[in-house]
Chain A
């Protein structure tokens, strides 16, 4: 196992380097000058050049990139061009919001998606099962930003059931902030919930058709017991194993959701930084997202080996 882990970690490094290289290259092509953007219209050329020199931006990219990489290897993500604050601080201040949102949306999706999926499979043919199917395909087809707006207008402005802007979703420190999470969670999680529901349904149906399930039924076991004991464990394998990776993918959707619900997470920070060409932040976030993804991947593999006795890593 540990040898496998080590191998995986060794594989991670080049991928991460490649990610940052891609982003670095990308932002070179943009041509946007972060300093001119930061200093605004009244800056003199002299001043712009001076700041550029200070921030080492007058060096060519092939000099700056290795330098940056070297510092990162020593734990220094550099400083933001715009705020001149350490990138690590800026990301740390916001990562909790984004992770909370992603975790919450994932929990919601798993809970709702798996339940409805199992239900739809167990009651195959019933009207309720059909409704779940419809809801699932509808959920998968609504753009999340549109859903967010609809939710906000109906739940927040018209009915005033939930606050329309979250500000804080630090539910660990302020349990009452939980209510703030409702709308962003639904908006972000809807698509994934739908997907999970459909995967679960299909997966359960497939397992239900297997011989051992038929024999369990033949033994006269109650349907619930059959599903609980024999079906779920096997059917949910593909579901469970994808959870961590999908949580990371939710970061993408969270860009729009964070903006709409006035949440300050790394998604909105990234958008701002792309617009301001604040390269150190963009790279820092890329690195963090990349790392999260790779960790999620690793976690998935481990989960898989735990849940599926057929797979063992040497």
Chain B
């Protein structure tokens, strides 16, 4: 079931995405003709109003959606990331972003911004939608708010937001127009920055009135739902925003985000009608949940990747041939079927299908090649095998993946000692006190890709000086990454990333194994719930059939 099933939700419901696909195809044509996107009306915003249930009856207004979250957000400020999953999935209902990512084309669509132009390599001009209101009578959304949001986000004190690292600052031009100044050319700006944290426009007035600390717990945005209450550790309550700029939306009266950390409990709450939608499902339970009457499972190939990182200064895994032997011995198909129960895609590269730069080229066969791996090991000077430890965090499926990998590697004469660490210890050893002092020899981990651009998948792993970097120095790689980042033409970028993969994948400082699916499940009376390939969600079109 491995290969076919990864189409997941899509192939399950062949008719449902049709209209959306048509719309987005039209949009793609428009977008490639000019960087400037056309002004969007309601119909031109396929992702603001997901159309997953095109065949369904007229949406009904009202009702409370009880949503099971795996984590509690650290903040709802809209200007800071904490790396928690709960974050995006709650914030996306409170804040509308300047650009909205269309995940069928992986391109930016108008949101609170109606157009964006690259004036010169380091200056972008953004025009905003007029007449949009903030929650709680904080007035109209203006360029001043957007500029404030951006400048607050990039203020070093409280952001580690990768997408904004090339941004120097923003500046108001008129009530609904502003400019963004960059330190160096950064082509994916609308997609990665304007469409994510920092692109969530917050109310400057509210922020200044309350101060950061209070605002983080009492957010004011211009999204479809306004913040009502945060019961620490247990739930976040949002209510319908009556003055939302898309008239008639959203349908729901209220969303209760319930924090249920344990997946076993979360899944059983859905079964016993204690929750209406749950986000993240254990892979092994997908099949069982699909069989459960009254429950729909939504599984889509995720913008995420699992990988093994090696410390290039290590005497054993610093040897390129040893790394290549590991990459060759791994049976990625077995990982997909035994760890992800078919809910994943095997891969050699970090960049998922549909991204600029994606290539289906195979360097290491997905089924693994034990004989070849042994051969490589012999060439590396280890005819009798090698042995080294791999660290892994306590994430359930990663532990399982490493157990399976260790079994696979053992067959090729590579003995792996599994060192499971709690997330805190793992991160401390993986990132080290600074980028030059990592404390691991090999590590297995996963990364969620913030926005669907290849830059977010490779830049901070391979570029010298970023935190994810393990110390593999190469002027060629740094040059390719910088060029690809600055290149305005999508076609040329595509070529640059393919060139890059031809350099980095054979080096195998990082071995990529799989893109895991994002999975949610809902009660069948929840209509129009769409699982996106990432950990954010859109609630405007969701309604309850009672």
Question: What's the nearest-Cβ distance from chain B to residue A120, in Å?
Answer: 36
Question: What's the nearest-Cβ distance from chain A to residue B71, in Å?
Answer: 10
Q: Is the CB of A165 within 8 A of B269?
A: yes
**In this assembly, does A94 line the interface, its C-beta being within 8 Å of a C-beta of chain B?**
yes
**In this assembly, does A51 line the interface, its C-beta being within 8 Å of a C-beta of chain B?**
yes
B435 / chain A contacts, CB cutoff of 8 Å: 45
B422 / chain A contacts, CB cutoff of 8 Å: 274-275
Q: Is the CB of B160 within 8 A of A165?
A: no
A260 / chain B contacts, CB cutoff of 8 Å: 262, 265
Q: Is the CB of A259 within 8 A of B262?
A: yes
A83 CA / B75 CA spacing, docked (Å):
7
A54 CA / B156 CA spacing, docked (Å):
12
A152 / chain B contacts, CB cutoff of 8 Å: 264-265, 268
Q: Which of A39, A41, A45, A90 has the most chain B CB atoms closer than 10 A to its own CB?
A: A41
Contact of A164 among B75, B161, B259, B265 (CB under 8 A): B265
A33 / chain B contacts, CB cutoff of 8 Å: 427-428, 431, 433
Number of interface residues of A (CB under 8 A): 52
B161 / chain A contacts, CB cutoff of 8 Å: 42
Contact of A43 among B160, B274, B423 (CB under 8 A): B160
Contact of A42 among B75, B162, B213 (CB under 8 A): B162
A97 / chain B contacts, CB cutoff of 8 Å: 233
Task: Using known A-B contacts A40-B81, A275-B422, determine if residue A165 contacts B274 with beta carbons closer than 8 Å.
Answer: yes
A261 CA / B261 CA spacing, docked (Å):
9
B447 / chain A contacts, CB cutoff of 8 Å: 41
Within 8 A of A (CB), among B431-480: 431-435, 447, 460, 465-468
A165 / chain B contacts, CB cutoff of 8 Å: 260, 265, 268-269, 274
B268 / chain A contacts, CB cutoff of 8 Å: 152, 156-157, 164-165
Task: Using known A-B contacts A164-B269, A167-B258, determine if residue A32 contacts B425 with beta carbons closer than 8 Å.
Answer: yes
**In this assembly, does A75 line the interface, its C-beta being within 8 Å of a C-beta of chain B?**
no
A54 CA / B235 CA spacing, docked (Å):
30
**In this assembly, does A305 line the interface, its C-beta being within 8 Å of a C-beta of chain B?**
no
A165 CA / B432 CA spacing, docked (Å):
38
Task: Using known A-B contacts A83-B75, A84-B213, determine if residue A264 contacts B234 with beta carbons closer than 8 Å.
Answer: yes
**In this assembly, does A124 line the interface, its C-beta being within 8 Å of a C-beta of chain B?**
no
Q: Is the CB of B157 within 8 A of A85?
A: no
A47 CA / B259 CA spacing, docked (Å):
30
B434 / chain A contacts, CB cutoff of 8 Å: 45, 48
A262 CA / B433 CA spacing, docked (Å):
34
Closest chain A residue to B423, Cβ basis: A275
Within 8 A of B (CB), among A98-116: none
Q: Is the CB of B265 within 8 A of A168?
A: no
**In this assembly, does A93 line the interface, its C-beta being within 8 Å of a C-beta of chain B?**
yes
Q: Is the CB of B156 within 8 A of A46?
A: yes
B274 / chain A contacts, CB cutoff of 8 Å: 163-165
A33 CA / B425 CA spacing, docked (Å):
8
Closest chain B residue to A79, Cβ basis: B213
**In this assembly, does A64 line the interface, its C-beta being within 8 Å of a C-beta of chain B?**
no
B233 / chain A contacts, CB cutoff of 8 Å: 93-94, 97, 264-265, 268-269
Closest chain A residue to B468, Cβ basis: A41
Q: Is the CB of B83 within 8 A of A40?
A: yes
- Produce 1/0 per residue, A51-88, CB < 8 A to B: 10010000000000000000000000000001111000
**In this assembly, does A213 line the interface, its C-beta being within 8 Å of a C-beta of chain B?**
no
Q: Is the CB of A82 within 8 A of B82?
A: yes
Question: What's the nearest-Cβ distance from chain A to residue B212, in Å?
Answer: 8
Within 8 A of B (CB), among A114-170: 149, 152, 156-157, 160, 163-165, 167-168
Q: Is the CB of A42 within 8 A of B468?
A: yes
Task: Using known A-B contacts A38-B82, A42-B467, determine if residue A54 contacts B157 with beta carbons closer than 8 Å.
Answer: yes
Q: Is the CB of A44 within 8 A of B466?
A: yes
- Produce 1/0 per residue, A23-46, CB < 8 A to B: 000000011111011111111111
A179 CA / B154 CA spacing, docked (Å):
48
Q: Is the CB of A85 within 8 A of B81?
A: no
A38 / chain B contacts, CB cutoff of 8 Å: 74, 82-83
A39 CA / B161 CA spacing, docked (Å):
9
A30 / chain B contacts, CB cutoff of 8 Å: 424-425, 428
Q: Is the CB of A41 within 8 A of B271?
A: no
**In this assembly, does B491 line the interface, its C-beta being within 8 Å of a C-beta of chain A?**
no
Q: Is the CB of B467 within 8 A of A44?
A: yes
**In this assembly, does B137 line the interface, its C-beta being within 8 Å of a C-beta of chain A?**
no
**In this assembly, does A50 line the interface, its C-beta being within 8 Å of a C-beta of chain B?**
yes
Contact of A37 among B261, B424, B466, B468 (CB under 8 A): B424
**In this assembly, does A276 line the interface, its C-beta being within 8 Å of a C-beta of chain B?**
yes
**In this assembly, does B232 line the interface, its C-beta being within 8 Å of a C-beta of chain A?**
yes
Q: Is the CB of A157 within 8 A of B272?
A: yes
A47 CA / B153 CA spacing, docked (Å):
13
**In this assembly, does A201 line the interface, its C-beta being within 8 Å of a C-beta of chain B?**
no
Contact of A45 among B75, B423, B467 (CB under 8 A): B467
A159 CA / B442 CA spacing, docked (Å):
47
A140 CA / B180 CA spacing, docked (Å):
66
A276 CA / B71 CA spacing, docked (Å):
13
**In this assembly, does A198 line the interface, its C-beta being within 8 Å of a C-beta of chain B?**
no
B217 / chain A contacts, CB cutoff of 8 Å: 85
A42 CA / B232 CA spacing, docked (Å):
27
Closest chain B residue to A41, Cβ basis: B468
**In this assembly, does B165 line the interface, its C-beta being within 8 Å of a C-beta of chain A?**
yes
A152 CA / B266 CA spacing, docked (Å):
12
Closest chain B residue to A89, Cβ basis: B232
A264 / chain B contacts, CB cutoff of 8 Å: 232-234, 259
Task: Using known A-B contacts A82-B82, A164-B268, A269-B233, determine if residue A41 contacts B467 with beta carbons closer than 8 Å.
Answer: yes
Question: What's the nearest-Cβ distance from chain A to residue B333, in Å?
Answer: 28
A149 / chain B contacts, CB cutoff of 8 Å: 264
Q: Is the CB of A163 within 8 A of B272?
A: yes
Task: Using known A-B contacts A42-B160, A42-B161, A82-B74, determine if residue A275 contacts B269 with beta carbons closer than 8 Å.
Answer: no
Given A30-B428, A156-B268, A164-B272, output 16 extra A-B contacts at Cβ < 8 Å. A41-B431, A41-B468, A42-B162, A82-B82, A157-B272, A160-B272, A164-B269, A165-B265, A165-B269, A259-B262, A260-B262, A262-B259, A262-B265, A264-B232, A275-B422, A277-B428
- 30 residue pairs bridging A and B, Cβ less than 8 Å apart: A31-B429, A32-B428, A33-B431, A36-B428, A36-B432, A39-B160, A40-B82, A40-B83, A44-B160, A44-B466, A48-B434, A84-B216, A90-B232, A94-B232, A97-B233, A152-B264, A156-B268, A157-B272, A164-B265, A164-B269, A164-B274, A165-B268, A167-B234, A168-B234, A260-B262, A262-B261, A262-B265, A265-B233, A275-B422, A275-B424
Kindly list the 10 A-B residue pairs having the minimum CB-CB distance in the complex, ordered from nearest. A264-B233, A42-B162, A43-B160, A40-B83, A39-B160, A93-B232, A32-B428, A32-B424, A262-B260, A275-B424
Chain A residues near B (Cβ < 8 Å)? 30-34, 36-48, 50-51, 54, 82-85, 89-90, 93-94, 97, 149, 152, 156-157, 160, 163-165, 167-168, 259-262, 264-265, 268-269, 274-277
